[in-house]
Amino acid sequence: MQRRSFNKGLLGAAAAVATGLQGAAWAQAWPARPIKWILSQPAGSGPDILARFVADNLSRRLGQPIVVDNRPGGQNVIGAQAAMRSPADGYTFYYATTAAMVTNVFTFKALPYDPEKDFAPVRLIGRSPFVIAAGPAFTGNSLADAVAQAKAQPDKLAMATEGPKTFSGMLADSFAAMAGIKFTHVPYNKAPDAIQDLIGGRVNFICLPEAALLSYIRSGQIKALAVSSAQRTANLPSVPTLSETFAGFEYTGWNGLFAPAGTPAAILDSVSRELEAVLKQPEVAQRLLTLGSIPETKMNVAEFDAFMRAERTRWAGIVKTIGIKPE
C-alpha cells in the first residue's frame, strides 16, 4: 500500500515536471504568429490610443504584430466576453480597465463573466488619475472652497461625471461622502459635452480623467481643484491631491493586460517581463504620461494578482459606503 502511494506520488511529480517543461517549451516557441488584444473601448478613445501605443512597442520586442480588436458596448461586457471565450493559447489577451475587471462586479446583478475566474492577470500597465475641476464661474481657489460652497448650497450644485455607476461617478460620490456634501449627478456619454457644459455654466463641477481635462486646465478655461492619485501628477504639479485634504483618499483608474484563464504561466511571465522592458523605456514612459497614464514600471504576474485581490476588496468597501446597488 505504501509502495503504491509512493509510486502514485512519483507519477504525480513526474507529470508536474513534464507539464512545466511542456509549458517552458511552448513559451520558447511562442509567439509564432500575430497576437490579438481585445479592447472594450471604441477606436480613437483614450484607452484605445494607449493600448495601440503599448502594443506597437511590445510587438517590436516579440517580433510579431499585435492586432487591437475593438469590441465596445455593454459597459465592457461585449469585449470581456469575447476575450473570455478565446482560446487560452497565448495569442489573445484582454486590455482592460478598472470598470471591466473590478467595479462591474458590484454594478451588475448578473455579470456574464467572472473577472477573477475567467481571466489570468498578466501585468498592470498604467494608472490614470482623475481630476475634480470647477468652471469659470467658480469664485473660490481650492477644494476646501468648493466644499464650503456645497455645504452652503446643499443639493443645488451639479457635478458632471460619466454616470453614477462609472468610475468617475463613484469617485465623485466617495468624495462627497467623505466631505459631507451633496450634489446633483449629471451623467454624460461624451467628455467634450460635459466640459462644454462646465465652461458654459450648466454644471458647477466635473470629475473626469486628467487626460480629458488637461488642455482646458492649461488654457485656463476650467480650474483644477484636486487630483485623485496618491501623489501630485507630473502634468499638474501645482494641483493638490485629494488625500492632502482627506487623508488616505486615493482613486486612480488603471489599465492592465489579462489573458483567458488557463493560458500557460510561462507565457504570462514572458509577456509581463517584456511589458516591463517596454514601460521602462524613457520615450514610452513620457508618451504614457502625455496620454494621462502613469506607467507601472515594476510589477510581476504574482504582484498584479495580489493587486487585483486588493482592488476587489477595496471597491467592495467603497460601493457599500456610497450605497451603489447592482442592476
- Size (the chain), residues: 327
What per-residue confidence (pLDDT) applies to 22?
Answer: 52
DSSP 250: -
Gap between the Cα atoms of 118 and 81, Å rounded: 9
Domain 28-128+252-322 bears CATH identifier 3.40.190.150:
yes
Mean local confidence (pLDDT), 124-139: 96
CB 58 within 8 Å of CB 116: no
Return contacts of 297-301, CB within 8 angstroms, 24+ apart: 299/123, 299/124, 299/272, 300/123, 300/269, 300/272, 300/273, 300/276, 301/121, 301/122, 301/123, 301/265, 301/268, 301/269, 301/272
Task: Give 26's pLDDT tier (boundaries 50, 70, 90).
Answer: low
Q: Do domains 28-128+252-322 and 129-244 have the same CATH topology?
A: yes
Task: Give 216's pLDDT tier (boundaries 50, 70, 90).
Answer: very high
Gap between the Cα atoms of 260 and 83, Å rounded: 6
Task: Give 27's pLDDT tier (boundaries 50, 70, 90).
Answer: low
Give per-residue pLDDT as tens, 72-108: 999 999 999 999 999 999 999 999 999 999 999 999 9
- Mean of pLDDT over the chain: 91
What per-residue confidence (pLDDT) applies to 154?
Answer: 87
Please state which CATH number belongs to domain 129-244: 3.40.190.10
Gap between the Cα atoms of 65 and 55, Å rounded: 8
In Å, what is the CA distance from 87 to each residue of 73, 91, 95?
Answer: 22, 8, 16
Which cell numbers hold the place of 185?
449627478
Domain ranges of the chain: 28-128+252-322, 129-244
What per-residue confidence (pLDDT) applies to 28?
Answer: 67
What per-residue confidence (pLDDT) applies to 2?
Answer: 46
Which cell numbers hold the place of 228?
485623485
Q: Which residues contact 190 (CB under 8 A, 6 or more apart)?
A: none
Which cell numbers hold the place of 169?
461617478
* Residue 122: CA count within 13 A, CB half-sphere: 31
Give per-residue pLDDT as tens, 242-267: 999 999 889 999 999 999 999 999 99
Give per-residue pLDDT as tens, 175-207: 999 999 999 989 998 899 999 999 999 999 999
CB 252 within 8 Å of CB 124: no
User: Model-level pTM greater than 0.85?
Assistant: yes
For residue 152, pLDDT beyond 90: yes
DSSP 240: P
Give per-residue pLDDT as tens, 266-293: 999 999 999 999 999 999 999 999 999 9
Gap between the Cα atoms of 99 and 323, Å rounded: 17
What per-residue confidence (pLDDT) applies to 18?
Answer: 45
CB 99 within 8 Å of CB 163: no
Residue with cell 504576474: 301
Gap between the Cα atoms of 65 and 47, Å rounded: 19
